[in-house]
Amino acid sequence: MAEKMNLRSPADLIGMQGDRVISFGSGQPDLPPPKEMFEGIDLARDLRYGLIQGEVKLREALAREYPGSSAENFVITNGASEAIDLILRCWNRGEKVLLPRPYYYSYLPLIEMAGLVPVFTDLNEGRIDIEDFKKKVPECKAVMINSPSNPTGRVESIETLKEIEKITQKLGIYVISDEVYKDLIYERENYHIEGNHVITVNSFSKTYCMCGVRVGYLWSVDKSIVEGVCEIKTHTSMNTNLVGQDMALAAMKTPKDYILRQQAIWRERRDFIYDGLKKLGFDLWRPEGAFYVLPKCKNAREFLTVLYRDFQVITYLGEWFGASDRLRLSYALDVKKIEEGLGRIGEAMRKVQVL
């Protein structure tokens, strides 16, 4: 098991659990879902093919959250993952995509599978280095941004987001803005980048704790993107499952304080793990959203193996996210478990030199 974890991607760990295991691995909320999600679901109604673009009612409900939008600006997808895959497949092979590094681990394979070429811009203290960004963006077809970020937990400043919005609009470069953690910002409201050239990717998974249901979407006012994605999706998967779309629509009726209550919990956990890792001596960025920390870690591969094999603590290699000298820890688990996990990490540090 430990060897497998060393050799492959997080895919091997998804869904794997054990009683004594403390998992800082999986990137899914552990909080209870809103009860609204289950109201009015009628499985028998959801058996016939639906529109490739997604159910009209769900898209209309989303349009009310995006000022000036209509149902036509959305495509409902099998999670944010499918949205990104389909967008990238719209473009010609050989086009370049600017990719801030560290990145969400699927971005790179998705870019490469679509025949596109990644151009990396290294983050500075976990945030976009706007000078490097400006230098590299003109040669690109598109830019991928992810704020709040998995794996850094950082949120780009509104100033940076507005500057990216302006530069890319001027140059006519697409922005794929992956905002799946937009409701998990502890510091301020999300800033939704807009413009003809912006494609927002989002999901119901993190906000409503429904990762396994696989419902996400993209938003764009660019008709060629919406139509291009629908054309591809017609052949690659057809409509997104209708039960999931119904659950997503029902979940949207959840009162806003559900989200606010969650944010308080995440903030507490963030403080706990950040302070705990600091005390252990780790060098890390303070997360402002999402639920990940990415501490620097020497001998990361060895430490991950020891943590798993000897202490039954799951972590992910920073390497999978383009950050080879780091480990990623998700803090989607309760404070008691985080505490226990930190204790075991402290013990494991006696066996491997990580600082």
Name the residues that contact a copy of itself, by CB under 8 A: 9-11, 14-15, 26, 28, 33, 37-38, 41, 43-44, 46-52, 78-79, 81-82, 85, 89, 106, 109-110, 113, 115, 209-215, 230-232, 234-244, 247
Show the DSSP H helices in the chain as ranges.
Answer: 2-7, 56-63, 79-89, 107-113, 130-136, 158-171, 223-236, 242-251, 256-279, 300-311, 335-348
Q: Which is nearer to a copy of itself, 191 or 320 (CB)?
A: 320
Residues in CB range of 343: below 8 A, 6 or more apart: none
Q: Which is nearer to a copy of itself, 237 or 305 (CB)?
A: 237
> Among all chains, which residue has been given the structure tokens 């938003």?
219
**Cβ-contact 260, 322 below 8 angstroms:** no
Task: Find the shortest distance in angstroms from Cβ 49 to a copy of itself.
Answer: 5
> Among all chains, which residue has been given the structure tokens 């040669």?
139
Task: Find the shortest distance in angstroms from Cβ 67 to a copy of itself.
Answer: 28
Q: Which is nearer to a copy of itself, 160 or 207 (CB)?
A: 207
Task: Find the shortest distance in angstroms from Cβ 120 to a copy of itself.
Answer: 18
Task: Find the shortest distance in angstroms from Cβ 109 to a copy of itself.
Answer: 5
Beta bridge partners of 69: none
**Cβ-contact 100, 130 below 8 angstroms:** no
Q: What is the C-alpha to C-alpha distance for residues 27 and 24, in angstroms, rounded to an integer?
A: 8
Helix, strand, coil: what percent of the chain each, to 5?
45, 15, 40
Beta bridge partners of 96: 117
Q: What is the C-alpha to C-alpha distance for residues 302 and 325, in angstroms, rounded to an integer?
A: 12
Task: Find the shortest distance in angstroms from Cβ 240 to a copy of itself.
Answer: 7
Q: Which is nearer to a copy of itself, 33 or 343 (CB)?
A: 33
Q: Which is nearer to a copy of itself, 85 or 156 (CB)?
A: 85
Task: Find the shortest distance in angstroms from Cβ 152 to a copy of itself.
Answer: 19
| Six token digits for residue 150 | 């998995």
Task: Find the shortest distance in angstroms from Cβ 47 to a copy of itself.
Answer: 5
Q: Which is nearer to a copy of itself, 78 or 149 (CB)?
A: 78
Q: What is the C-alpha to C-alpha distance for residues 353 and 336, in angstroms, rounded to an integer?
A: 26
Q: What is the C-alpha to C-alpha distance for residues 219 and 209, in angstroms, rounded to an integer?
A: 21
How far out from the chain centre does Cα 20 lie?
A: 27
Q: Which is nearer to a copy of itself, 14 or 355 (CB)?
A: 14
Task: Find the shortest distance in angstroms from Cβ 177 to a copy of itself.
Answer: 19
Q: Which is nearer to a copy of itself, 93 or 170 (CB)?
A: 93
Q: Packing angle between helix 335-348 and helix 256-279, nearest 10 degrees?
A: 20
